[in-house]
Amino acid sequence: SGKPDTARLAIARGWVAMRPETLALVTEGTAAKGDVLGVARLAGIMAAKRTADLIPLCHPLALSKVAVDLAPDVPAGRVGIEAQVRTTGPTGVEMEALTAVSVAALTVYDMLKAVDRSMVIGDIRLVLKEGGKSGRFESGE
């Protein structure tokens, strides 16, 4: 692309809201399909690495770090999801971070849909981007 290689970082977040009894299956590790948070974390990491296969005109990137964290938030009735992606290169990793959060959220939904089809996936957004010509972006949340 003719752009210089720079250190790139993107952080994205989102959540999956659910009924309290559904969230209890997650926190107690008793969901029928197994470890919801562990499987969703793995799905998010895999998705970040496959972003170029999913989104047209996204270039395949050598990612130096992909971390996906999922945390139950019992008072809010949801599972929070955060993805952090790093690379050194000419292209940012915002889409990889957003894809990781999106697929992790879809995986949570898939693993729990048998008991709660009313779950809501929400607020998937970029919260931080560093590197490149446009510099730093922070969502201010």
Q: What is the number of alpha carbons within 13 Å of residue 141 lying toward its C-beta?
A: 11
- 55 membership: H or E segment, kind and range: none
In 10 A of CB 57, how many CB atoms?
A: 6
When computed from its CA atoms, the radius of gyration of the chain, rounded to whole angstroms, is 16
Given the residues 69, 110, 116, 123, select the one marked as catalytic. 110
SS3 sequence of 81-128:
EEEEEEEEECCCCHHHHHHHHHHHHHHHHHHHCCCCCCCEEEEEEEEE
Q: Quick check: is 69 catalytic?
A: no
Known catalytic residues? Answer: 110
